[in-house]
Amino acid sequence: MSFIVHHGLLAARSQTKGASSCLGARARLCQQTLHRNLLRNRTASQKRLNGIQIRNASGGAEKNKVAVKYGVRLVGTGSAAPKQVLSNADLEKLVDTNDEWIKSRTGISRRHIAGEGESLSSLASEASVKALEMAGVDAADVDLIVMCTSTPDDLFGCACVVQHNIGAVNAAAFDLTAACSGFVVGLVNVTHLIRGGNFRNVLLIGGDVLSRYVDWRDRATCILFGDGCGAMLLQAKEGECNVLGFDMRSDGSMNKSLVAAYHSNGTGPKPLAEGAASDLGSFENISMTGSDIFKFAVRAVPQIVNGALDAAGLEREHIDWLVLHQANQRIIDSAANRLGIPLESVVSNISEYGNTSAASIPLAFDEVVRSGQVKPGDVVAFAGFGAGLTWASAICKWGEITNK
């Protein structure tokens, strides 16, 4: 007897001619039983899908609530930036530009550039230690490290190097790539991992060393990018989740608007020919169509924040702080204006650091947390956008710091 699935319906057929009526009856009974189980599983699966159809992390609208044992709280932050600073005046020596032109178009005055002895792993380790110290959590108690970056020190990632550097001997570690949206995408992923009940203390890191891929003779891009890293410790808590809602989106049709493509002597795939088979593989410098990215960002950021607010069941008036990817001050101002968020509630440190990709959101947030501006219980809207193209937002409540 064999059973086959055809267009989702299970059928039974006899492989032996002249099968007895008893065998046929058993086959029909088995078929009916399996068919009922299939329908039951379909119904259960549909209910699960309905429960997460707008990707709500904590509940929001009644029909989207998903019962979970553990929630998430945000309890510690840290950041690090290279010592070497490259000012607008310094760039005047490299390209045809000036301080006034750069600031009026981007809001950037300086950017930090990794120097001798500095790497993404070293910056990430420094930021992580600070986040753990703020949270009062020992590195040995960290269960998981998620490193959000597009520029690892090693092609295979550097989360494990950070794990070793800080002594998180009990933690699993992996890298995640979503460009300038990386930290928010990482936050959403970590939220689900914690809510699953398998992780208690998770270190989320956003960092990039984009200076490795900057053409310092290209005025359109070299004025924008800097290096840095930020970290956040997220903890499991029973009951209420402080990640209130989120939304994530992508549009690969605009991928070429911001790229740093793979390169091998300009030939694409590495050739097997003599003299080229051992050439180093590498990536091109960053190439960006600035006007496309600007138009995309001013449209996408309000859209994605509103989507996350809807998932959280909140209104714009509930936002205490807006922390956006620090790409361009004009984008930040335009998004805040469209959302109706007052400028005093908008976090910006782009003047000092420039665009640090996945680092920009946690780096900026760490500054306002450490300055005492952000208070426990404040509602924070995070939103990232960038290469891919990707964009993502999460609405969170900043939590109290405890050692429990």
Tell me which residues are annotated as active site: 180, 325, 355
Instruction: Mention every residue, 6+ apart, whose C-beta is less than 8 A from residue 320.
Output: 345, 374, 378, 379, 380
Distance CA 108, CA 95 (A): 16
Identify the burial level of 33 via C-beta atoms within 10 angstroms of its C-beta, where 0-12 means exposed, 13-18 middle and 19 or more buried: exposed
Please check whether residue 362 is in contact with residue 190, taking contact to mean a CB–CB distance below 8 angstroms. Answer: no
Distance CA 326, CA 52 (A): 30
Please check whether residue 229 is in contact with residue 126, taking contact to mean a CB–CB distance below 8 angstroms. Answer: yes
Q: How far is CA 302 from CA 163, 183, 188, 321, 397, in A?
A: 36, 18, 18, 14, 19
End-to-end CA distance of the chain: 58
Please check whether residue 389 is in contact with residue 296, taking contact to mean a CB–CB distance below 8 angstroms. Answer: yes
